[in-house]
Copies of this chain bind each other. A is one copy, B any other.
Amino acid sequence: MKRGQIEAVWRETAQCQDCGIRDLVLFADLKEPDFRLIHLPIEEIDFDAGQVLYSAGDDGQALYTLRAGLIKLVQYLPDGTQRIVRLLKRGATAGLEVTLGQPYEHTAVALQRTSVCRIPRQVVDRLSRETPRLHGQLMQRWHEALHQADDWLTELSTGKAPQRLARLLIHLAEPDGTVTLLSREDLGAMLGITTEHASRTVAELKRQGAIVELSPNRCRCAIDQLQCIGAANC
């Protein structure tokens, strides 16, 4: 796990306006004149699976918008055990806390090949001061993060392991009904169980036919069956 560095790819700031996923991201509501307020480069950066975007406690100078891929936010307990507190998907924002002058609260790690836009803190500060159109989005982002945190707690930390895993898989499933399983260790850190038990629980769902392995760690999942396992109805 080392920092992503060399593979940084530049972009002119102007290109934000033509961003392919602009309606999804933090700058969704900005209008043409707002973009002229951006006087620092916004870089597009790629990370390989396992690379660290930033570490908890680092003095944050930038936040990140996720263009593609998957990021985990990890929090450590004093005794060293770790918990994954959130997963970020396309369109999500990482490191919002830096806009409040705080250091990063989590360690952010790419789980797949991931592409992000790195937005310097000052850019957000300035837009925040000079155009009202960013505010709504910022609030929205905070709200989304909080909502996900609450759901995460109630869904992934409540009930028996198979229920929790089933609920997680539903969230992780692609529209086409497939999932790419994460490492057993990460599954454990999300569900609050040991790596071994995560492994057993995955095996159990396979045995029940709720998920079928297509290729290594790539599964087709029976959503309705997962749903009733998640609700403890079957």
Query: Chain A: residues with CB nearer than 8 A to chain B?
Result: 75-79, 81, 83, 85-86, 96-97, 99-100, 102, 105-106, 128-129, 132, 135, 138-140, 142-143, 145-147, 149-155, 157-159, 192, 231-233
- The reply to whether A85 and B142 form a contact with Cβ atoms under 8 Å apart is no
- The reply to whether A153 and B155 form a contact with Cβ atoms under 8 Å apart is no
- A106 contact set on B, CB distance < 8 A: 150
The residue in chain B whose Cβ has the minimal distance to the Cβ of A86 is B150
A83-B158, A158-B83 known; A105+B150 contact, CB < 8 A: yes
A153-B85, A158-B192 known; A79+B142 contact, CB < 8 A: no
- A145 contact set on B, CB distance < 8 A: 146
The residue in chain B whose Cβ has the minimal distance to the Cβ of A151 is B75
- A231 contact set on B, CB distance < 8 A: 77-79
Interface centre among A99, A105, A140 (most CB of B within 10 A): A105
- A86 contact set on B, CB distance < 8 A: 150
- A75 contact set on B, CB distance < 8 A: 150-151, 153-154
